[in-house]
Amino acid sequence: MESLWPQIEPLLAQVTKPARYIGGELGAQQVEHGPDVVSWLLVYPDTYEVGLPNQGLQILYEILNERPDAAAERSYAPWVDMEAAMRSAGIPLFSVEGHLPASGFDVLAFNLSAELVYTNVLNLIDLAGVAVRGADRTARDPIVMAGGHCVFNPEPLADFIDVFVLGDGEEVVSEINEVVAAHRCGPTPDGADSADRAALLRALSRVPGVYVPSCYDVAYDDDGRLAGITARFDDTPGRVEKRTIADLGSWPYPRQQLVPLIEVVHDRLNVELFRGCTRGCRFCQAGMITRPVRERPADQVRTMVSDGLDRTGYDEVALTSLSSADYSGIEETVTGIIDDPSCSGQVSVSLPSLRVDAFTVGTAAQIQRVRRTGLTFAPEGGTWRMRQVINKLIREEDLYAAVDAAFSQGWKRVKLYFLIGLPTETDEDTLGIVTLAKQCVAIGKRYHSSVTVTASVGGFVPKVQTPFQWFGQNTIEELTRKVHLLRDAARPVRGLTIRWHDPKATAAEGIVSRGDRRMGAVIEQVWRNGGTFQEWSECFDLRLWTDALEAHGMTLEDAVYRHRTEDEVLPWDHISAGLHRDFLWQDWRDALAEYGLPDCRWTPCYDCGACTGYGIEHVVASAVPPAGGSQGTGQDLSSGGQVPVRFLSTAPSGAGPAPGPGGSAVALVGEGRG
């Protein structure tokens, strides 16, 4: 492979943000390719700024490059101006390190984090100079792989991706490398033909966690409904189980987080606190497919933070997970980082994904000591009834206490996330969003003359492998009506801003999320008609999607809005995230009955399947739920709507209460002041 840099360089004077294409990040590896080495191009199918921080991709990049028989480089979707320049100059997709052509790699591996990037995946395969459909690829073409959360319904991309990899990638990536090496490295057999490719794919299909769609037959019944997806070979698994690493502590990656030359999203050191979440929010696919909870040991977190800050020069670290305040001893961990003398008191800590019932004044006081990072809470539902349906069991008083803690510690802006279009949602539930947000503004005004509360409202898209996978998504019209309800109700409230996601984009996401293999033709048509970067509002066009649906005899009603039935074959039934289907169905019935299910970390197991099926367990340092939480704490969960909210009458006196060893609960602080 020869570097394309001399041809790329002249293009960079005419495109926006040319540094997206130059590589040169701290942590970028200059690797040696050779006949005995499997070459991987890890591709994030969105812009460089969005893709570079992806931790999954960076972890695999390091693990592969530590192997003597693998060499990994990276690539990202060129923005539309660069793509046009590349196509007109005849330059294919290239890696950012060596500027090597994508088609020269043995493996093109895509990270799929969101459905609307699927058209970009097709575009990038095409830009690489590789046939878009797997069936048209020849022996020496790269093997096209995909991993990430979206592959738990692989069918819409089954015609384009040779190999899907389910679950945690840390272990399986090496197993895949060995299989590919056995077929691709060493002397090339003369007269290699497509049979060799089929043999390699079949060998890969025997690796646990790997789904090779070409090894499966799809059957439809007379009504055109999916009848089943079955393995074609005896040694191909009928149901593919995801991979799960038992102990996050064995995988302290990334060790050398990439530091980009240009500003990217999440531009900071990121250290993963734990993987998995068992809070059991029914809308949340991430929480369902990444079970069980596996915490990273606290001393390893501290080492990764201090080594990472030393190496990168960042002055901000994010402690990431699906619910960071649930980490055992989160307050001590945050305090330890901020008080570390090597940080010179200039390092700030941010905790994405904060649950309000685990956010305390102590935590608030710690994370704002250096500089105030943005604070976002996600009550998701506007009423207690709604939150019981979705199993986000936080009470009004939890939210108000958290917001009070934030305002009392000096924040003047708070962001709240909500979903609309949830199952059983009434207008009362929708308008409850404004009621909650309005009360938050009122709390803020007790501390500051002017505050801003932003309620960010997304339309709910039912996701596969969750209890809501059977739910028929709200129509565009219904979501738009609800947005208008909210906007009108919020208009008179000073200090409250409502932001919403475009209901049309929500519909397009719904088209792809639960589609079967026939949806591939729709995705392909959208791409062929120019529909790339569909998650970018300036590029998104719903007409491309509805036209393509219509051209293939499909409708929004059937693909998106229709409730699925219990006996229906779902396109992802042969794909397993460990969750028993009857557990999901029961949880769906519980949702409709407005019955909340507590977190199994702190209560007896109810056998969802994620631990028992794989012979693994939760790894948590503390068997005690976080302070202030209403889940598993013995608090009466049915009390939510009725608990009167008590406002604190005095402004904070500067020095807040010292955080105790177990963390100071907001409720306790409130009582002390009252």
Chain contacts with other proteins (rule: CB under 8 A)? 10-14, 18-19, 21-24, 26, 85, 89, 259, 261-263, 310-315, 342, 344, 346, 370-372, 410
CB closer to other proteins, 94 vs 118: 94
- Give the C-alpha distances (Å, rounded to integers) separating 435 from 119, 383, 393, 438, 486: 39, 9, 18, 5, 10
CB closer to other proteins, 13 vs 658: 13
In the complex, least distance from residue 530 CB atom to other proteins, rounded to whole angstroms: 23
Q: Report the C-alpha gap between 33 and 366 in whole angstroms.
A: 47
Q: Are 35 and 185 in contact (CB under 8 A)?
A: yes
In the complex, least distance from residue 659 CB atom to other proteins, rounded to whole angstroms: 21
Of 480, 440, 473, whose CA–CA distance to 457 is shortest?
Answer: 480
CB closer to other proteins, 267 vs 547: 267
In the complex, least distance from residue 375 CB atom to other proteins, rounded to whole angstroms: 13
CB closer to other proteins, 368 vs 439: 368
Helix 172-184 with 55-66: angle, nearest 10 deg: 50
Q: Report the C-alpha gap between 455 and 376 in whole angstroms.
A: 10
CB closer to other proteins, 85 vs 577: 85
| Token pair 């939210």 in the structure block, residue | 399
CB closer to other proteins, 89 vs 593: 89
Token pair, residue 238, equals 């009928």
Count the neighbouring beta carbons within 10 Å of the beta carbon of residue 611: 20
In the complex, least distance from residue 24 CB atom to other proteins, rounded to whole angstroms: 6
Of 80, 99, 87, whose CA–CA distance to 31 is shortest?
Answer: 99
CB closer to other proteins, 313 vs 661: 313
Token pair, residue 404, equals 């009070």
CB closer to other proteins, 23 vs 459: 23
CB closer to other proteins, 207 vs 370: 370
In the complex, least distance from residue 84 CB atom to other proteins, rounded to whole angstroms: 12
Token pair, residue 472, equals 């028929």
Contacts of 598 (CB under 8 A, 6+ apart): 280, 393, 631, 632, 637
In the complex, least distance from residue 270 CB atom to other proteins, rounded to whole angstroms: 15
In the complex, least distance from residue 80 CB atom to other proteins, rounded to whole angstroms: 16
Give strand pairing partners of 8.
none
Token pair, residue 560, equals 């998106």
Of 450, 507, 577, whose CA–CA distance to 166 is shortest?
Answer: 577
- Give the C-alpha distances (Å, rounded to integers) separating 610 from 92, 144, 579: 42, 28, 6
In the complex, least distance from residue 48 CB atom to other proteins, rounded to whole angstroms: 12
Q: Are 53 and 264 in contact (CB under 8 A)?
A: yes
In the complex, least distance from residue 387 CB atom to other proteins, rounded to whole angstroms: 33
